[in-house]
């Protein structure tokens, strides 16, 4: 006999037994012992099945409740993990800002920290976008320096366009960028030009035979009236034998800042015409 048929039979017997007792109660009839003998086991089985069903249903409801609670706890756990990660990042940034504030070079300039919300992806692609703008005091041609990474306070580029709450930054790796720099060791000067994202910079207009060596530290000269003097830019990495335009050395420079990895910067609130 199949299980469904057995359940139907038990249900019918249970209903019949209950109906008989109910009728006997209404008519005040005392059932004979045979009825008790026959219906007793049926009632016992029916009671056991009913109790088992209730326990199973209660267990199901409990498991559903536990599952929902687990889902809620999982979401709360993920939210807490994200919050902890943000707090850790903010803590690292605060420590970097402390290091930045200790640099004498930047103490005389008001500063606006900003988050990089867009990085160019292509080698010759456009500009960085930061989450500070005109309402924060930013204007075109203001210098932008790094605040995270290995080199705190290294040159990133300059602000070129501002909106109320956002600004575009021309990175020094862009072919449109040109920065006058000098060697800290020999004080030889040149114009540092971008060659595209992820590529070495070109130190141009350095006369052939000038005292420039691999490993030289290059700083902004301040003579272009755009960048304050003394900002760290990069190091000379290669000096190639071929000449440029017949007069100048071909000098390759590795910038301190990795534009692709930038997440935070500081904009220096400067005015044009400062003295180097």
Report the alpha-carbon distance of residue 106 to residue 172 in Å, rounded.
Answer: 19
Determine the CATH number of domain 111-276.
2.40.10.340
* Among the ranges given (22-26, 178-182, 235-239), the one the predictor scored with the smallest mean pLDDT: 22-26
What's the whole-number mean pLDDT along residues 40-47? Answer: 59
Is the pLDDT score of 1 beyond 70? no
Confidence label for 91 from pLDDT (cuts 50, 70 and 90): low
Residue with the larger pLDDT of the pair 2 and 41: 41
Confidence label for 273 from pLDDT (cuts 50, 70 and 90): very low
Confidence label for 32 from pLDDT (cuts 50, 70 and 90): low
pLDDT in tens, 115-174: 999 987 776 667 999 999 999 999 999 999 988 665 678 899 999 999 999 999 999 999
> Where do the structural domains in the chain lie, given as residue ranges?
1-102, 111-276
Kindly tell me the burial class for residue 50, based on how many C-beta atoms sit within 10 Å of its own C-beta (0-12, 13-18, 19 or more): exposed
Residue with the larger pLDDT of the pair 188 and 273: 188
Reported pTM: 0.64
Highest mean pLDDT among 27-36, 99-108, 170-179, 244-253: 170-179
Is the pLDDT score of 272 beyond 90? no
Is the pLDDT score of 260 beyond 70? yes
pLDDT in tens, 214-226: 999 999 998 888 8
Contact 175, 193 (CB under 8 A): yes
């Amino acid at each position: 006999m199949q299980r469904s048929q057995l359940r139907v039979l038990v249900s019918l017997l249970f209903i019949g037994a209950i109906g008989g007792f109910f009728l006997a109660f209404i008519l005040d009839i005392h059932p004979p012992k045979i009825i008790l003998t026959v219906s007793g086991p049926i009632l016992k089985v029916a009671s056991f099945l009913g109790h088992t069903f209730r326990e199973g249903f209660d267990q199901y409801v409990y498991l559903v409740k536990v599952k929902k609670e687990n889902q809620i706890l999982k979401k709360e756990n993920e939210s807490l993990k994200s919050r902890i990660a943000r707090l850790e990042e903010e803590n690292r940034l605060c420590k970097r800002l402390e290091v930045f504030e200790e640099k004498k070079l930047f103490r005389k300039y008001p500063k606006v920290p900003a988050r990089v919300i867009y990085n160019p992806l292509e080698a010759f692609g456009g500009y960085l976008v930061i989450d500070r703008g005109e309402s924060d005091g930013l204007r075109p041609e203001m210098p932008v320096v790094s605040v995270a990474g290995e080199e705190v306070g290294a040159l990133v580029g300059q602000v070129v366009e501002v909106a109320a709450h956002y600004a575009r930054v021309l990175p020094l790796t862009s072919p449109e960028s040109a920065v006058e720099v000098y060697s800290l060791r020999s004080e030889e000067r040149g114009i540092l030009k971008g060659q595209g994202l992820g590529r070495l910079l070109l130190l141009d207009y350095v006369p052939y035979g000038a005292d420039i060596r691999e490993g030289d530290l290059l700083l902004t000269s301040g003579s272009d009236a755009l960048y304050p003097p003394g900002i760290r830019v990069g190091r000379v990495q290669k000096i190639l034998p071929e000449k440029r335009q017949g007069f100048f050395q071909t000098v390759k420079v590795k910038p301190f800042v990795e534009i692709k990895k930038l997440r935070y910067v500081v904009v220096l609130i400067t005015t044009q015409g400062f003295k180097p």
